[in-house]
């Protein structure tokens, strides 16, 4: 299970809407307690690809976010990105680029702008398994 505060969910949605028509992206940091992950901080990063079909995190921003996590006693939990025109599930490219089977890969679909859908996945090879996501 992975927990996300409603205010952080709203922060992700707002950033994703601002970046339209391109994908938005970022990192998530927090704590792990057994099988439970709690997101304590959401990082909004720049998609240096400026594309609506894929993203690359800005390396300098990524490093700064990891440093911030360490300074605040958090661990990297994974990343998030938006799908402006497709469902909240990993694309073939998302699966191919998923380098860490322990990470959470959160995907926000903006297909229906009035009803954004956020899901979290564990990705191992070609297999994506949906994680239980609790927004509080």
pLDDT tens per residue, range 37-51: 999 999 999 999 999
Task: Render 9-70 in DSSP notation, one character per residue.
Answer: HHHHHHHHHHHTTS--EEEEEEEEETTEEEEEEEEEE-BTT--SS---B-HHHHHHHHHHHH
d(C-alpha 16, C-alpha 59), whole Å: 19
Q: Please name each of the domains of the chain with its CATH number.
A: 2-135 (3.40.140.10)
Which pTM value belongs to this model? 0.95
d(C-alpha 87, C-alpha 61), whole Å: 27
Whether 120 and 93 have beta carbons less than 8 Å apart is answered as: no
Note the pLDDT of residue 56.
95
Low-confidence ranges of the chain (pLDDT < 50): none
């Amino acid at each position: 299970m992975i927990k996300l505060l409603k205010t952080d969910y709203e922060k992700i949605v707002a950033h994703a809407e601002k970046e339209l028509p391109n994908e938005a992206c970022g990192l998530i940091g927090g704590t792990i307690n057994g099988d439970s992950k709690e997101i304590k901080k959401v990082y909004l990063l720049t998609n240096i690809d400026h594309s609506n079909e894929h993203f690359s995190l800005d390396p300098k921003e990524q490093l700064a976010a990891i440093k911030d996590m360490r300074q605040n006693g958090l661990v990297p939990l994974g990343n998030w990105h938006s799908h402006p025109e497709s469902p909240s599930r990993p694309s073939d490219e998302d699966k191919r680029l998923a380098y860490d089977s322990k990470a959470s890969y959160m995907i926000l679909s903006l297909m229906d702008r009035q009803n954004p859908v956020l899901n979290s996945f564990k990705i191992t090879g070609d297999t994506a398994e949906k994680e239980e996501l609790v927004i509080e």
